[in-house]
Structure 1
Amino acid sequence: DWPAFRGPNRDDVVIGESLRTDWDARPPKQLWKHPIGSGWGAFAVIGRRAWTLEQRGENELCVCYDIETGRELWLHADAVRFSSPQGGVGPCSTPTVHDGKVFTQGATGILNCLDAATGRRVWTRNTLEDAGSPNLEWGQCGSPLIVDDLVIVNPGNNDEASRAKRTSVIAYRRETGEKVWAVGGRQGSYSSPHFTTLRRDVHQEILSAERQVLIFDGLGVVALRPETGGRLWEFAWINTPQVNSAQPLVIDENLVLIGSGYGKGSVLLGFLPQVDEVGGRHLEVVERWQSAQFKLKFNSAVRRGDFVFGLDEGMLTCLSLKSGKRLWKQGRYGYGQMLLVEDKLLILTEEGDVVLVPATPETPETPRELARFHAIDGKTWNHPVLSRGRLLVRNSDEAACFDLR
């Protein structure tokens, strides 16, 4: 199953799947393809059902599809419409499916809890109203995060003048929608909340497990306690437009990689245990390395072993996690998205092609593609999903499902 943005661990790593590479001899079978409402989010998948957000006319929808046939099973509509000159029309986030419910945050801040089987609305909130904030330029893009009995979202905009007056992260009770805690003082941006546990430093000193929610916003990354919203640590990472959109990448529960575009690049953060004057323990954030050669605009990186792979302003790039050194940069795929499947990268390019590339640190003499086929037409910024051998792809024009087995 693929129940949330970037998968069960929100890291774009596919577990338990294998990919053949003989696509020229045996092309992937198209199960279905049809038009879809506008939007830049992905699918969430449980069993034979897939959910995604779309804009159709004046309504923002959550639509449930049969993954085998593409048949629409149900839809929930909210009478709102979002558009921006650069980003286009429609929502950007991905539904989160948990315990028989679908949680969605639309581009205008409507947070819904829906029955996964029927689409019946269980509860709804307006996160921008709760935050006391106007919208971002490209709308609310964060996909809801489930931690225990909470739904955590990061609404808000990047207006510095009103920062102190508004809320920037909110936790709601999962069953009822009741607000549990809220914290402010941050700049809004387009990355989604990410849950992790940091356990030890790079020298393998054992720490008590620190559960935390990472928020990568316009000011950088901040770690919050999921139970209360209390701040654990923060690190400033600001680019000129104060836009951070890629997801933090947690490495072995002791390192965090963050990156952005606009000429900024990436930084690898480590953590050292410290004890203050009154005996309190905390984590000190330390930079392991910075690289201006790994600019992740809104295309998140994936990790295999001691190496990370990402699209540096559209070009496939491999970095050493130990040194931050760029090992190679080859192949232009635009602002597409990727999955790691065993030892292969599955890339959905900005032009709608699906490409397989070895996830290796070895420098290829030429761009080394294992296989490629054209999946959908139109500009494609959406994340692909692979579940039980079924590849789901979409953009703002059409959606399709292919059997890769």
Structure 2
Amino acid sequence: MVTGNLLRPEVDLASAIMKFLPTLLAASLLPAFVSAQDWPRYLGPDGTGKVEGKIRTDWNAEKPKELWRKQLGQGCGSFAIAGDKVVVMGNQNNTDVVWCFDAATGNEIWTHKYEEKLDPKLYDGGPNATPTIDGDSVYALSKTGNLFCLSMADGKPKWHKHYQSDFGGKAPSWGYSASPVVKGDLLYCLPCGKDGGLYALDKATGATKWSSGDSTKPGYAAPVFFNYKGRGVVAGFHGRELVTYSLDGKPVFDFPWRTSYDVNASNPQYHDGAMFLASGYGMGYVVIDVSGAEPKILHKNEDIRMIFQNSILVDGDILGVFGDKNIDAELIRMEMKSGKILWREKMPGTRGSSLMVGDEMVILSETGDILCGKPAKTGWTEHGRIKALSGTCWAPVAFANGRIFARSNKGEAVCFEVK
């Protein structure tokens, strides 16, 4: 508490500001009106797959309590959670549904529906992107490029844009999947339209504030923000390359990375002058040095793959469930700069998503198992696992306020309490 300090000499005021500055800066990176344990967008509060807090780990003694189970309709998008509300999407009978539920009970609060083909191309189909909650608005994207800003109070549209008709974009083979994300007053999205790969929209009106001006094919990964050489930048992992832009849309550096079918879907990571990229279809991963004038490859491995799984950066190490269509899933911890594999642990299926709550990890396997454990530098310690869902599960697992949220591609959604 700083009571009284404002009336003391200015040196005390400076000390008070410096004391609380780290907290203020950290808070400024989060969307408006988001608490520390909310999960308001793809991969959590800041898109890193990490959230502060604790999770109950005595799963072998007492399984997590199931709070609710719902049928959403097909889709691979994850959950956005803020306060007592959770928003998620699905497709029912060629109609996209944006659902808002009570996070604790699963009771429906509102829905928003519009016509959209299921388009089950070699998978179950349905929407792929994760909504983003920011204050009293939620942003939701369909496979063909329907972008809605909806009221969090009642689901009514505030504005609507279409990636193809408004921006001149062309949907990739499996539909638009890169979740739009908010930073400040702007909504960053990747329609890869006639005026650039990256567009920044006024989050209140949908008006285009700027576009990047480059020509790219769309990928499937959400925009990633980080600090680079003393300034904020945003990376777009497009279909055939990584492009990093300044926060006014000017290219900073790029690196070619062409995957079969232009499927670049896993989130890039930046750490200490280097970037980690990973894909499937035989590409594997690469770590590039981006500290100099041109990116240079530090190391790569074609057999360690992430087709769309997410990675997490912990103490300079890459953590995640690696695997591909014909490669069994493994949880791997790797030193990012050196490429040294610290350990690897077999997981169910061939793919899976993960998140961190404090120093504990939660994993949703492709086969519907939810695992909890500690991924220390010395190895993996599993606390327990439950069979949560049937069928294939590709949507990233989510966590907020002591609850785990998971879904299957067929549309079954479930929430467990782990307080």
TM-score normalised by length of structure 1: 0.87
The equivalent residue for 2:377 is 361
Give the superposition deviation at 1:299: 0.4
1:235 aligns to 2:255 (yes or no): yes
| CA distance, structure 2, for counterparts of residue 101 and residue 363 of structure 1 | 41
Residue 376 (structure 1) aligns with = 389
Structure 2: how far apart are the matches of 1:363 and 1:104? 38
Deviation string, structure 1 residues 101-135 (Cα, Å, up to 9, x no partner)? 10111111001111111111100000122332332
* Equivalent residue in structure 2 for 1:290, among 281, 297, 300: 300
CA distance in structure 2 between the aligned counterparts of 1:116 and 1:166, rounded to whole angstroms? 31
Q: Which amino acid aligns with 1:175?
A: A
Residue 216 to residue 235, structure 1, CA distance change in 2 (3 Å): same
1:140 aligned partner: 176
1:397 corresponds to which residue? Answer: 411
Q: Is the 8 A contact 2:80 2:131 kept in 1?
A: yes
Task: After the TM superposition, list the runs of 4 or more consecutive aligned residues in structure 1 that deviate by more than 4 angstroms.
Answer: none
| 2:268 is equivalent to residue 218 of structure 1 | no
After superposition, residues 141-290 of structure 1 pair within 5 angstroms as: 141-156=177-192, 167-182=196-211, 183-199=213-229, 209-227=230-248, 229-251=249-271, 254-272=273-291, 284-290=294-300
Contact (CA 8 Å) 1:132, 1:167: kept in 2 or not? no
1:330 CA drift (Å) = 2.2
Is 1:6 the equivalent of 2:43?
A: yes
Q: Secondary structure of the residue that 1:241 maps to in structure 2?
A: helix
Residues 240 and 262 in structure 1, CA contact (< 8 A), matched pair in contact too: yes
Over 3 Å counting, the alpha-carbon distance change for 1:287 and 1:170 in structure 2 is: same
Q: Which residue of 2 aligns with 1:81?
A: 117
Q: State how far apart, in whole Å, the 2-side matches of 1:349 and 1:88 are.
A: 17
Residue identity opposite 1:231 in structure 2: P
Q: Note the C-alpha offset of 1:382.
A: 1.1
Q: Which amino acid aligns with 1:256?
A: M
Q: Does 1:42 align with 2:52?
A: no
Instruction: Write the deviation string for residues 233-292 of structure 1: whole angstroms up to 9, x where unpaired.
Output: 11111223321110111225x33211111121222233335xxxxxxxxx5433332233
Q: Deviations over 1:297-331 (max 9, x none)?
A: 10011122132112221222221123112233221
Find the residue that maps to 1:88 and give its secondary structure: coil
> Is contact 1:213–1:226 with CA below 8 Å preserved after alignment?
yes
Q: 1:203 is matched with which residue?
A: none
Task: Verify: 1:387 aligned to 2:383, yes or no.
Answer: no
> Aligned AA for 2:181?
L
Tell me whether 1:328 sits opposite 2:327 in the alignment: no
Look up the equivalent residue of 1:303 and give its one-letter code.
Answer: L
1:363 shift after superposition? 5.0
The answer as to whether partners of 1:131 and 1:168 remain within 8 angstroms in 2 is: no
Structure-1 separation of matches of 2:353 and 2:379: 21
- Distance in 1, Cα, partners of 2:241 & 2:377: 29
Could you tell me how far 1:357 is from its partner in structure 2?
3.0
Is the Cα–Cα contact under 8 Å of residues 336 and 381 in structure 1 kept in the other structure? yes
Q: Per-residue deviation at 1:30?
A: 0.8
**What amino acid sits opposite 1:258 in the alignment?**
L
1:306 aligns with 2:335: no
Does structure 2 retain, via aligned residues, the 8 Å contact 1:87–1:138?
A: no
In structure 2, list runs of 5 or more residues that go unmatched.
Answer: 1-37, 324-328
For the residue of structure 1 that corresponds to 2:198, the secondary structure is strand
Amino acid at match of 1:186: T
Over 3 Å counting, the alpha-carbon distance change for 1:284 and 1:392 in structure 2 is same
Q: Distance in 1 between matches of 2:97 and 2:261?
A: 30
> What are the within-5 Å matches in structure 2 for residues 73-152 of structure 1?
73-152=109-188
Residue deviations 1:7-53 (CA, integer Å, cap 9, x gap): 0110111212x223221221111111122211101110111100011
Larger displacement relative to structure 2 (323-332 or 141-150): 323-332
CA distance in 2 between counterparts of 1:240 and 1:38 reads 25
Secondary structure of 2:319's partner? strand
Does the 8 Å contact 2:69/2:413 carry over to 1? yes
Q: 1:278 aligns to what?
A: none
Provide the residue aligned with 1:342 in structure 2. Answer: 358
How big is the shift at 1:79?
A: 1.5
Amino acid at match of 2:78: A
- Aligned pair count reads 374
Q: In structure 1, what is the Cα distance between the partners aligned to 2:240 and 2:125?
A: 26
Inter-partner Cα distance in structure 2 for 1:363 and 1:29: 28
Q: Is residue 51–residue 62 contact of structure 1 (8 Å, CA) maintained in 2?
A: yes
Counterpart Cα distance in 2 of 1:152 and 1:173: 9
| CA distance in 2 between partners of 1:89 and 1:118 (Å) | 27
Q: CA deviation at 1:343?
A: 2.7
8 Å CA contact 1:33–1:401 kept in 2: the answer is yes
Q: What is residue 71 of structure 1 aligned with on the other side?
A: 107
Q: Is the 8 A contact 1:123 1:177 kept in 2?
A: yes
Report the counterpart of residue 160 of structure 1 in structure 2. none
The CA distance in 2 between the partners of 1:337 and 1:63, in whole Å, is: 22
Structure 2 distance, partners of 1:397, 1:187, is 29
Whichever residue aligns with residue 324 of structure 1, its letter is G
Q: What's the CA shift for 1:166?
A: 6.7
SS of match in other structure, 1:359: strand
> Identity over the aligned pairs, expressed in percent?
29
